[in-house]
Amino acid sequence: MRDGFVDFPERGLNFLVGRYNRTDGPHPSLTQSTMLDLFQWKLISLLAVIAVSGLGVALLVPLLVRLAIVVGLVDKPDAKRKLHERTIPLVGGIAIFVATVTIVTLGVSQFGQLLAPDASEGLTFTLKHYGLLAAGASILILGVLDDRFKIRGRIKLIGQIGVATILIATGYFFEQVHVGAQTIQFGVFAVLIVYFWILGTINSVNLLDGADGFAGTLGFVVSLSMAAMAFLGKETAVEAVIAAALAGSIGGFLWFNLPPAKIYLGDGGSMLIGLVLGALAISTALKEETLYAFIAPIAMLAIPILDSGVAVMRRQMTGRGIYAVDRGHLHHRLLGQGLSPQMAVLWMFVLCGTTALGGVLSFATRESEYAVVAVVLVMGFLIAGKVFGFAEFSMAGRRVRQMTFGVVGGRGDRTQGTKDEYQLQGTRDWGQLFQVAQDFAEAHGLDKVRIDINAPWLHESYHAVWKSRSAKLVESQDEWGAQFPLIIHERVFGRVEVFSLTRAAEAYRCLPKLMNLLENAGPKIVGGQPPKTSQVPAVPGFEGPGSASVGHSARPEPRPADQDFVGFRQSAEASSSL
């Protein structure tokens, strides 16, 4: 990494004074002492922006809470996905937006010379800043409408695309990147890359907003990192003020959102944070079109990128819809290790802080290695340590081997077929249920059985597939299949699918027997047996499985009793049609 880190303070000073002179070198007329004073003054000014923004949110929240109750902008528990115990106002996003816009407007228009004494003409807004304001207001309105009236996922995606279009139209894009002596031109794909980036940051932060303090902690750490990056960048003084104001506003929100939460961000707030962070990454780093500037913001947002990527993998490979509800996100996995809600938020802060620090160091020293090392360390800890993503990456690896070598590689020999199963979340032994289905399939000539368990309120997720040897070797248009829901306590918690290449009539007649077997096996797993011992290795601060809260709740929902496992056969008979 050469001597990049050693001369970091000098480079920071050179960046600051260089912006004053619109060059990359130090101003020849300023002494080292003067440069240091200027550097410290700007730092103090940005800290003041952070403090005032946080105070603004603290003053706004009580007023907005009263308004939210009147208009019904609240989150109510539903005992399935939303496991908190009381109604919570969804006003965090509104408070953050109002405070950030107010402080940035006053700061730039009235105190520009104080915030940027190195800028000879003070601070001024450009078309890009007005575009960010319009996009931020639009995404907030979209999210608030979703919080209040529940907009369909596809409609919300169209709205997000429209918001990204506003950013692109006002100058948020990049066309190339310099890698050493080579220049990679994106050409016609440049706009698509920016769309993908903006939509990715919006939705990745939104997906992490599933437990008290998590999305806020992420937003606070990354916006602070963006402020530092803009502080060291060229002609990004306004971006530094925006990032600092956002960090302060999120910090004020966290005062009310750390567990146990009194208010939530809502979709409007989480999408707003993701949008602003994605836009700031483009305007402060990606516009420099260098490799280290590309890698730095990716490292800062590595945690939400990893979380959303694993979620898409999990849902795609298990056959669930992309908008399916599950509890396999990073915050659920941390809580599932037995961490208290407060300790889980602290671990989130450490993980995000590690990758964000790597990104800032890479940008400051112009060395990509810091960001890469930070991301590899965090991902290695989470995946190799089986804390998060291990099962999903195992499934992906097996799929790759299937496509590459044409073999399944699961357990079993070529006579009996192959079997793959994955405990994605939870500790119950769903393998018992799957073994019943597999034994039945082998005995009655079925060629494939698949079970998928997705029970957010039970904190359980499981996926398994068995294929006979003939199913691997033969493709037939005569293949038929049937799908049956698994129901407990009047809720669908999974599904069983069976397939056969031949003997359709005989197999159809034996399906009621399979329903009986599964109905008898279900209660033993759901409430009749203690959970299996967790296979996740001990991690500092983790107290073991079984004591974590899930979602926004401070305690897990009680598990249904044996007698609640009802209705499987009736529902299966009603839903299957051959």
Do the domain assignments include residue 139? yes
The answer, yes or no, to whether residue 502 has pLDDT greater than 80, is: no
DSSP H stretches of helix in 233-301? 237-257, 266-284, 291-300
The answer, yes or no, to whether residue 311 has pLDDT greater than 50, is: yes
Q: Are residues 283 and 431 in the same domain?
A: no
At 409-459, the pLDDT tens digits run 444 443 456 888 888 888 888 888 888 888 888 888 788 889 998 887 777
SS3 call for 64? helix
Which CA distances in Å does 73 have to 87, 147, 325?
10, 7, 21
Domain boundary among 236, 255, 289: 289
SS3 call for 2? coil
**Domain that residue 13 falls in:** 8-289
Residue 160's pLDDT is 97
Do the domain assignments include residue 402? no
The answer, yes or no, to whether residue 138 has pLDDT greater than 60, is: yes
Residue 366 is which amino acid?
R
Do the domain assignments include residue 145? yes
Do the domain assignments include residue 178? yes
pTM value? 0.78
| Percent of the chain surpassing pLDDT 90 | 39
Domain boundary among 257, 289, 321: 289
Q: Are residues 116 and 264 in the same domain?
A: yes
Domain count across the chain: 2
Pairing of strands 74-75, 88-89: antiparallel
Helix (H) or strand (E) holding 487: strand 480-488
Cα torsion 541, 542, 548, 550 to 10°: value is 80
At 43-99, the pLDDT tens digits run 888 999 999 999 999 999 999 999 999 999 998 876 555 555 678 999 999 999 999
Do the domain assignments include residue 404? no
Pairing of strands 182-185, 176-179: antiparallel
- Could you give phi then psi for residue 37, rounded to 5 degrees? -60, -45
Alpha-carbon distance of 199 to 551, in angstroms, equals 24
Do the domain assignments include residue 560? yes
The answer, yes or no, to whether residue 100 has pLDDT greater than 50, is: yes
Alpha-carbon distance of 304 to 356, in angstroms, equals 12
The sign of the torsion formed by the CA atoms of 49, 17, 298, 131 equals positive
Pairing of strands 480-488, 460-467: unpaired
Do the domain assignments include residue 318? no
Do the domain assignments include residue 424? yes
Domain boundary among 289, 315, 341: 289
Q: How far apart are the first and last CA of the chain?
A: 65
At 350-371, the pLDDT tens digits run 999 999 999 999 998 888 999 9
